[in-house]
Chain A
């Protein structure tokens, strides 16, 4: 089936999702480069603090503002740019601060939140905030409308789905409704809630220490004027994710575990009614398929050709090892295609060179942007 540019036809958001270590960042960068080369103004966003995207785009650093990748540099690597390629590395804390500043009714409320220690921990270090802010930045950029296409490289959470759930979880936390009710034991709410809640709160104080609760109370009070704004925004973000102009691409590797995770992730996307676009499998060992059944004793043929028994043995052994991996990959991908009820699995071969620069991205794009027939022909040429 289709190449990435066909899948992304008419889309304005592409979200690359998958578990860690499958080449998601590289794939996102390659897709953005390829779409920009075809004439779009594209921005790729990454959240990875390891600056992987900057590495692969040959940029020294990325900041919370989009930067354009030098077209001359791209051309030097054989990428002819008809459009523009921009990149941004998300600074979760800065994005969160901006969001608070935008939602706060006045400067005083803004500063109360920014100075709160619980807020400082949430906004910089703790789980969920990166994912939430990725969605937030995506929404912001989409609203601004400066780009034809936004490509998001999702954070490498263990569970590829955490990022979908993060906005909801974090909004609920900020909302803090059930906690705020109990924070004022003398208030009407506490009387309504009853004695058991008061006792529970007392027990909790003994465990977590009163200070933590006091800080939390302060945090919720500081946020109280902004809750509605945050909720409304989270709702609009969710609407954007489910929009038919948004496209989720699942990225995975050919081993059993990443394949299982891709199947699981696809199921969750379907359940959540989010627009699934296709699946990309990286680092695939292609079998020498059309050559199989050639018959003949490979080892004997190698001995004859090389005139070296021992070397022929090593070549044959290496080939057998490679073919075993290729067969495994083929089995796993067949399973993936069956589970996803799609024939459109885009396979990118395990390239001889480790991909970490623009040249590598261009090489990957020969596969991502090829029709399936072209792709098979390219891969066959490699074996």
Chain B
């Protein structure tokens, strides 16, 4: 059992298009298979995870996907509502607030508030003593973190907010969330990368930024989509000669083999660069020759996680 999955909360982060959702779901499958009650959280309305689980909609509920595995799509407006419900015990006051234009305005306009209540909901899910009535207890919460221009923007929100709101409940709660994010014993962070020049550079920059700006030490970097090494160098040279002297399908097949060899090699060079440039241990995940990366792909990756 990898130590990453022994934590209570794991953020899966990285740039867009690197396969974060698939890796997050694979980690969830792996943990669930090991008997951990696990929930995979999405933090936008795009519901990539539900796409993988082939459910039409997950929404702001904890939906059981498999044995021991749940999924939720965290909507910031719903999180805000739930947060206010938990803060205010008097029903009349809550109704007043929700009907109030000023509340709607502030909730929509205050920069970072959406991200903050989203992280607040993640915190709530990770509690052994859930605040939400009849809340299920989870052993592990996995977050498919949003990809933004600022790789660290989302995780930095509590710290930013604690600085803006100097006093009051929001200040102390933002501090509490920041402590949760940086608590290395219980919270882990994984970066997903691709074996290409720029994604490797970006992953190294992301790791450094998480360390210096948020105080997070990344636990693991997953290099996703690594081609198999199907052909040796000699074989590739020979196939290149064959491609040059042939026509038709034999030529096309030989040509495809030479391309695959070239890509596999350049990917190995990127893997070596990544290992040199990041401090966290690097694990590789194979490229899957699947038309669509659905649940089956996530299952295959889950077996290969180490």
Given contacts A128-B111, A314-B230, A178 and B102 within 8 Å (CB-CB): yes
Contact (Cβ within 8 A) A258 B149: no
Report the separation of the CA atoms of residues A354 and B46 in the bound assembly, to the nearest whole angstrom.
29
Residues 170-222 of B at the A interface (beta carbon under 8 Å): 170-171, 196-198, 201-202, 205
Contact with A along B96-131 (1 / 0, CB 8 A): 110111110110011110110000000000000000
Which residue of chain B has the shortest Cβ distance to A327 in the bound complex? B291
Binds A, one of B53-61, B63-71, B133-141, B160-168: B160-168
Interface size band for A: 35 or more
Partner of B112, one of A127, A294, A317: A127
Question: In the complex, are the beta carbons of B249 and A288 less than 8 A apart?
Answer: yes
B239 within 8 A of A: yes
Q: Which of A173-228 contact B (CB under 8 A)?
A: 173, 176, 178-179, 182, 196-197, 199-201, 203-212, 215-216
Tell whether, in the assembled complex, residue B88 and residue A203 are in contact, meaning their CB atoms are under 8 Å apart: yes
Known: A156-B149, A316-B253. A201 touches B102 (CB 8 A): yes
Tell me, in angstroms, the Cα distance from A301 to B202 when the chains sit together: 44
User: A50 with B202: in contact, given A176-B109, A209-B167, A322-B256 (CB under 8 Å)?
Assistant: yes
Complex CA gap A276/B153 in Å reads 31
Which of B100, B163, B291 is within 8 Å of A328, CB to CB?
Answer: B291
Residues of A contacting B110 with CB < 8 Å? 208, 212, 216
Instruction: Check B44 for interface membership: any CB of A closer than 8 A.
Output: yes
Cα distance, A118 to B289, chains bound together (Å): 48
Given A126-B111, A208-B165, A319-B257, A159-B44 contact (CB < 8 Å): yes
> A275-319: which residues lie under 8 A (CB-CB) from chain B?
288, 291, 294, 296, 298, 301-302, 305-306, 311, 314-319
Bound together, the chains give a CA A174 to CA B247 distance in angstroms of: 66
State in angstroms the CA–CA spacing of A200 and B289 once bound together. 56
Q: What is the interface size of chain B, counting residues whose CB is below 8 A from a CB of the partner?
A: 77
B103 touching A209 by the CB < 8 A rule?
Answer: no
Contact status A199-B169, CB under 8 Å? no
A209 and B149: CB pair below 8 A? no
Do the beta carbons of A356 and B197 come within 8 Å of each other?
yes
Residue of A whose beta carbon sits closest to that of B172:
A209
Which candidate, A9-17, A18-26, A65-73, A135-143, is the interface stretch facing chain B? A18-26
**B259 → A minimal CB distance (Å):** 5
**In the complex, chain A residues 42-58 whose Cβ is within 8 Å of any chain B Cβ:** 47-50, 52, 55-56
Q: B3-11, B28-36, B260-268, B276-284: which one contacts chain A? A: B260-268
Tell me the smallest distance from the CB of B159 to a CB of chain A, in Å. Answer: 10
Of the 9-residue stretches A94-102, A249-257, A340-348, which lies at the interface with chain B?
A: A249-257
Rounded to whole Å, the gap between the CB of B234 and the closest CB of chain A is 10
Contact of A19 among B16, B102, B254, B270 (CB under 8 A): B16
Tell me which residues from 1 to 31 in chain B have a Cβ below 8 Å from any Cβ of chain A: 15-18
User: Separation in Å of the B94 CB from the closest CB of chain A?
Assistant: 9
Bound CA span A121–B51, Å: 35
Interchain CA distance A182-B109 in the complex, whole Å: 15
User: With a CB–CB cut-off of 8 A, which chain B residues contact A210?
Assistant: 167-168
Q: Which of A104-140 contact B (CB under 8 A)?
A: 117-118, 121-122, 125-130
Is A324's beta carbon under 8 Å from chain B?
A: yes
Interface pair B252/A22, CB less than 8 Å apart: no
Contact A318 B230 (CB under 8 A): yes
Q: Per a CB cutoff under 8 Å, which of B15, B101, B291 touches A325?
A: B291
Are A258 and B230 interface neighbours, CB within 8 A?
no
Q: What is the CB-to-nearest-CB distance from A265 to chain B, in angstroms, rounded to a whole number?
A: 13
Contact across chains for B197 and A315 when beta carbons are under 8 A apart = no
Contact residues in A for B165 (Cβ distance below 8 Å):
208-209, 211-212
Contact A55 B164 (CB under 8 A): no
A382 proximal to B (CB < 8 A): yes
Residue in contact with B160 in the complex, picked from A125, A179, A216, CB distance below 8 Å: A125
**Is the CB–CB distance between B160 and A121 below 8 Å?**
yes
B132 at the interface (CB under 8 A from A): no
Which residues from B are CB-within-8-Å of A121? 111-112, 160, 163-164
Say whether B147 contacts A156, CB under 8 Å.
yes
Q: Which of B227-267 contact A (CB under 8 A)?
A: 230-231, 235, 238-239, 242, 246, 248-250, 252-257, 259-260, 262-263, 266
Write the nearest CB–CB distance from A136 to chain B, whole angstroms. Answer: 16
18 contacts between A and B (CB under 8 A): A21-B17, A22-B16, A125-B150, A127-B148, A158-B44, A158-B146, A158-B147, A179-B106, A196-B96, A203-B96, A208-B168, A208-B170, A209-B170, A257-B51, A306-B242, A315-B256, A325-B289, A356-B198
Q: A208-B169, A209-B168, A319-B249 are in contact. List 14 more A-B contacts (CB 8 A).
A: A20-B16, A47-B149, A157-B149, A182-B102, A203-B88, A203-B97, A209-B167, A210-B168, A211-B166, A216-B110, A301-B250, A314-B230, A318-B230, A328-B291
